[in-house]
Structure 1
């Protein structure tokens, strides 16, 4: 007698269940990525607003602008983490051009060092130069400029290496969503580059990277 082995495959119900599971997994991954990106936007928003609040608190306590505060002897006399070599020239303005925003030059590093020494932001006040600058949620830097940022009247706080979608979200949260108007501006950059806020962007694009700045 000849026996015949019946070949069986997946039923339509089994295939449907597998497809549903794959869809749920993909949806969960995409949703997780969206949540992570939204969290980064929220953290960057808090960094900008927190820097603004820290500046106001510093002005209220010392009646001087962080970064510009001096002379050295007066700063060092506060003790603790204060040192004479973190003093500015005390001329009433933050001496930092747009080109120095992410370099730690001018009074940029002293800006963050003095805020740290005063306890208004976290970090080591002994760090100098570019090392004194905080990291932002996308691995770039948080920087400041005293003047020269196109479209910004006076001081600015800036975030580098911001993906286009996140730059749009930040502008919508803090201003009008347009990189060319209002108190929040966008500037063209490149991936992995802490580009100075000098090249104003005409519009945000999700496949590009930006430096963004807000009035400080």
Structure 2
């Protein structure tokens, strides 16, 4: 039997202890959210840099060779390219044939990367004609026309709505269906942009964003 003058040990947490735990949890959650935001901002910068770098590479190639990469009739002789040779479209017509994310190595939109790497304007092996990855686990590519934007366009896919809208706002008007930057949910850069002007950030939609150089 316990001595009557010995107080029983209190069980559970005191209010001060609970308050300390809640503060620690709040700090941890705040750090996690801040870390996620920093990651998102870094991805936005990387995707934006991809668009700017591709515009610069296209302009440099045209200044140097007087042709579009991928549609350059002199590329095969200049670098001794034997295979694959462009089979889609007409080489030298000023149009890059093929979709931005095509799987066909002979499309001009794939040869685009081969020519740029041969010219030393983008990184990668000089025999590599594959699309480079973007910061959102998608790819960057080019094609002629998308979402009713005339001429060559640069496209990047698998972009969450927050990143897609940030890119659109940085370079254009922030609306997915107008301007020089347009987008649609999915992976197809077809004739029609998103039917909704606003990007839908519901966690399920991922956009392909295309921009005129």
TM-score range, shorter-chain basis? 0.7 to 0.9
TM-score under structure 1 length normalisation? 0.85
Instruction: Give the equivalent residue in structure 1 for 2:201.
Output: 206
Contact preservation (8 Å) 1:65, 1:92: no
- Higher CA-based Rg: 2
Q: Which runs of 5+ in 1 are unaligned?
A: 78-82, 190-194
Distance across 2 between alignment mates of 1:35 and 1:2 = 58
Give the match's secondary structure for 1:21.
Answer: helix
- Which moved further from structure 2: 160-169 or 1-10? 1-10
Contact preservation (8 Å) 1:75, 1:87: no
Runs of 4+ deviating beyond 4 Å: 86-89
Q: Which runs of 5+ in 2 are unaligned?
A: none
Report the CA distance between 1:127 and its aligned residue: 2.5
TM-score under structure 2 length normalisation? 0.86
Deviations 1:114-159 (A, max 9, x none): 111111110123124xxx1111111111111123x12311110001
Q: RMSD value over aligned CA atoms? A: 1.9
Give the match's secondary structure for 1:153.
Answer: strand
Distance across 2 between alignment mates of 1:109 and 1:139 = 19
- Which moved further from structure 2: 198-207 or 166-175? 198-207
Instruction: Give the equivalent residue in structure 1 for 2:188.
Output: 196
Give the match's secondary structure for 1:155.
Answer: strand
- Which moved further from structure 2: 53-62 or 3-12? 3-12
Contact preservation (8 Å) 2:172, 2:181: yes
Contact preservation (8 Å) 2:79, 2:118: no
Distance across 1 between alignment mates of 2:183 and 2:173 = 12
